[in-house]
Amino acid sequence: MNPVAAFPYVYFLGIGGIGMSALARWFQANGHQVSGYDKTSTPLTEALSAEGIAVHYEDAVENIPVEVRNKKEQTLVVLTPAIPANHQEWAWLRENGYDIRKRSQVLGLLTAGQHTIAVAGTHGKTTTSSMVAHLLHHAGVPCAAFLGGIAVNLGSNLLLPPKTEGDQSTNVPVVVEADEYDRSFLTLFPDVAIVTSTDADHLDIYGDKDALVESFRKFVSQIKPGGLLLLNHTADPSLAEAVPAGVRVVRYGLEAAQAADLYATNITAHGHQFRFNLHGPFGEVADLELAVPGYHNVENMLAASCVAQLEGVQADKLKAAVAAYKGVKRRFEFIVTAGRKVYVDDYAHHPREIEAFLRSLRALYPEQRLRVVFQPHLFTRTRDFAPGFAESLSLADEVVMLDIYPARELPIAGVTSDMILSQVTAPRKTLQTKEQVLATAKTDTDFDVLATVGAGDIDQLVPHLRTILTERWNGAEA
């Protein structure tokens, strides 16, 4: 019996989070009565409301649905780490003895006993997990997926397997994004794991990179016997030593010199499209065509394709599925294109992610003037990686910096966006508000390529910039 079947009511604290909303949709689709709180209304929470999920935005106990308040034993409460300690509803639910689980714990319950494909890494995991889910789904392999972004092909962050008659416990593959924040991924015991990167991040949780790597070592030690680990060539090599006996380790990279197990050859760019040949342990596939740009995405697709091969997807179906992949919202997402004029939005919020994104933009548009609008995410991340952010952003011709998006954190004295901006070496750099960014976009024509970058609420600018630039760049496609 599914361990969550005993809870007809499920209440979410932080229902609008990308991972939380996927769980909410799963419970809704499986017959549970779902409701929740979030701090602000967003397109995602509005979509949940449209799907029949009750969402409110004021922290007040009386806003908790009556059924939840009256039926404690039949209610599961799902909590995101972003909920502050002084949250009134959380305090009331704790004091009244509700069963409260973190999102990661619930994900662990849902995947227990399932054939689990877990994608971990300090960056690249959302794109790579969406690729795995898409390849399997497109090739006709029944599967489920809990994703950390809105997959364009699916139009959702959740993929459900087709309904079957009779036994509902069919062990279809479940693709999950394994989040290292707060050691969440340690609730997972995968059959197949991908580790895309182990760069230092979340040092507010881990303290130093060694502790982060140790957490990844623990994660891969939980791969089931007979399983598979796909390990990016940039990841800490000690992870290969931490897997249980009998787990196969496949290292992957763009070139055989980086990782002789799984690599690409004949990589060529044609506009936004990349073509390459795959060489791996489950066979070679020639002339793969990926419509999502970036060498880092070729690398991500290598790992995803290898998993698809492992799950039985043959070369012809794999080629068709790769060609059909459209990416993830806010990952190298083209918002407006008009000849030499381009506007791209990306979720990058770590120095390595920003470097990969901007180098790919430079490769696509080598002669165009590049303006980057960046919103730092978290005070701790800004403090810990300011020089790295400055170095990667300096690849642009112009850097526009927004104030730090605090997310779950309180301000830290002396930590501001200027910690980064003061070290940026781009020819032109400014600190602006969102309103100033929009005003500048209406009047300043001194750029060809615009990129908005960050993981906070910078995405609120996207529809406004789309309208402004479409009107200015007459004939553009929005």
Please indicate if the annotation marks 442 as binding a ligand: no
Please indicate if the annotation marks 163 as binding a ligand: no
> Residue with structure tokens 């060529």?
268
Please indicate if the annotation marks 124 as binding a ligand: yes
pLDDT at 100: 95
pLDDT at 122: 86
> Residue with structure tokens 């009107």?
471
* CATH code, residues 9-101: 3.40.50.720
> Residue with structure tokens 């939380």?
20
pLDDT in tens, the chain (478 residues): 467 888 999 999 999 988 899 999 999 999 999 999 998 888 889 999 999 999 999 999 999 999 999 999 999 999 988 888 889 999 999 999 999 999 888 999 999 889 999 999 988 889 999 999 999 999 999 999 999 888 999 988 999 988 765 444 457 999 999 887 778 889 999 999 999 998 766 566 767 778 889 999 999 999 999 999 999 999 999 999 999 999 999 999 999 999 889 999 999 988 788 999 999 999 999 999 999 988 889 999 999 999 999 999 999 999 999 999 999 988 889 999 888 899 999 989 889 889 989 998 888 888 899 999 999 999 999 999 999 999 999 999 999 999 999 987 889 999 999 999 999 999 999 999 999 999 999 988 789 999 999 988 899 999 999 999 999 887 544 3
DSSP 44-88: HHHHHHHTT-EEE-S--GGGS-HHHHH-GGGEEEEE-TTS-TT-H
CATH T-level fold of 333-472: Protein-Tyrosine Phosphatase; Chain A (3.90.190)
Token digits of residue 61: 């106990």
Backbone angles phi, psi at 157, to 5 degrees: -100, 10
Please indicate if the annotation marks 125 as binding a ligand: yes
User: How many Cβ atoms sit within 10 Å of the Cβ of residue 387?
Assistant: 12
Largest CA distance in the chain: 65
CA atoms of 177 and 317, how far apart (whole Å): 24
Q: What is the dihedral of CA 324, 330, 333, 336, to 10 degrees?
A: 140
Please indicate if the annotation marks 416 as binding a ligand: no
Considering only CA atoms, which of 382, 429, 377 is closest in space to residue 405? 377
CA atoms of 265 and 233, how far apart (whole Å): 16
CATH 3.90.190.20, the chain: domain bounds? 333-472
CATH 3.40.1190.10, the chain: domain bounds? 113-324
CA-to-CA separations, 254 to 234, 276, 278, 302, in angstroms, rounded: 11, 10, 10, 8
CA atoms of 238 and 414, how far apart (whole Å): 36
Token digits of residue 458: 């910078």
Q: How far is CA 94 from the centre of its chain?
A: 30
CB distance 453 to 355 below 8 Å: no
CATH 3.40.50.720, the chain: domain bounds? 9-101
pLDDT at 318: 98
Q: What is the dihedral of CA 408, 413, 418, 419, to 10 degrees?
A: -90
Please indicate if the annotation marks 123 as binding a ligand: yes
- This prediction has a pTM of 0.84
CATH T-level fold of 113-324: UDP-N-acetylmuramoyl-L-alanine:D-glutamate ligase (3.40.1190)
